[in-house]
Amino acid sequence: MSAGVSASGRASGAGQRGSVPVAVALLVAAALLAVTIAAVVPLQRRHGLARAVAGVAALQASHAQRGLVADDPCGRAQQVAAAHGATVMACDETDRGMLVTVRIDTPFGGAESTAHAGRPDTGGERSAAGDPPGDLMATSGACGRRWRASGGAD
């Protein structure tokens, strides 16, 4: 037998020719997974921050709406959002509180969230959680007068 040929007549190493493309494909898949994770994690963090900022901005706007803070409700929401690197996209006055939407831009897109803060609709009774009527709490609500970042009410 000549060198490099096995007893079966096949060249030695002939069965390993396909292993290089498989290894390269696995490395490419691992790199794509790493890039995807690197893009998703900051976006998830920004979305959580947007939720928190929307809640705080809605609460502060609701305080201003009720006269607890001497300020325009939507102006107050803008101040709070700007202090946290967010932009108020919409600010709605409802009969029970404020509905605020904020956006935080990221290199991979924006994270947007909406929150409502104001009086719970309990019909004068305590809620199931025991909150007396008139206390501020976060709820979902319908839009009233709409205000946009581009300026003024609709």
Strand ordering across the sheet containing 109-118: 137-139, 109-118, 97-106, 87-93, 145-148
| Whether 138 contacts 65, CB under 8 Å | no
The dihedral region occupied by 120, where left means phi > 0, alpha psi between -120 and 50, and beta the remainder, is: beta
Q: What is the mean pLDDT of the chain?
A: 74
| Whether 98 contacts 73, CB under 8 Å | yes
21-26 average pLDDT score: 88
82 in helix, strand or coil? helix
Q: For a pLDDT cut of 90, what percent of the chain falls above it?
A: 36
What pLDDT shows up at residue 18?
Answer: 67
41 in helix, strand or coil? helix
What pLDDT shows up at residue 86?
Answer: 94
84-110 average pLDDT score: 89
58-70 average pLDDT score: 90
Where are the alpha helices (H) located in 66-121, listed in sequence order? 73-83
| pLDDT tens column, 27-45 | 999 999 998 887 777 777 8
pTM attached to this predicted model: 0.58
Of the pLDDT bands very low, low, confident and very high (cuts 50, 70, 90), residue 127 is: very low
Q: Which one-letter DSSP state was computed for residue 152?
A: S
What pLDDT shows up at residue 62?
Answer: 92
Most confident of 11-25, 30-44, 57-71, 107-121: 57-71
